[in-house]
Amino acid sequence: SSNNNNNSQNYVKPVSFIFASCSCVAVWPYDELWMVKHALELVDLDFALLLGDLTYTDIHQSIPYRIPFERAHKRILADKYYQALFQRVPGFFMFDDHEVENDFEGAHHPLAAEGLRYYELFHGSRNPHDKLKPGRNTSRHFYTFEYGDTAAFFVLDTRSYRNATIALGKTQTDALATWLLTATATWKIIASPNTWSPAFADHFDEREQILTLFATHDIRGVVVLSADTHFGAAYNLTSSLPHIWEQAQAARQAESAKYRDPNTSNAESQLLPSSSSSSPSRPVLPWSVLEFAASPLQAFPMPGLSHAAADGRDILFLSVLRFHFGHVAIRSDGSLQVSLYGARPLKYLGPATLLYTHVIPPP
- Determine the residue type at 75: R
Give 10-residue mean pLDDT values along the chain (363 residues): 46 95 79 93 97 86 80 94 97 96 91 95 88 59 94 96 91 94 96 83 78 84 93 83 56 50 34 31 56 92 60 78 96 97 87 96 91
Q: What is the pTM of this model?
A: 0.85
pLDDT of residue 3: 43
Beta bridge partners of 328: 17, 338
Given a contact cutoff of 8 angstroms between Cβ atoms, the answer to whether 49 and 355 are in contact is: no
pLDDT of residue 213: 86
DSSP code for 241: -
Task: Count other Cβ atoms within 10 Å, centred on residue 70.
Answer: 15
pLDDT of residue 314: 80
Q: What is the dihedral of CA 75, 81, 84, 90, to 10 degrees?
A: -70
Given a contact cutoff of 8 angstroms between Cβ atoms, the answer to whether 65 and 129 are in contact is: no
pLDDT of residue 266: 34
Within 13 Å and on the Cβ side, how many CA atoms surround 298?
26
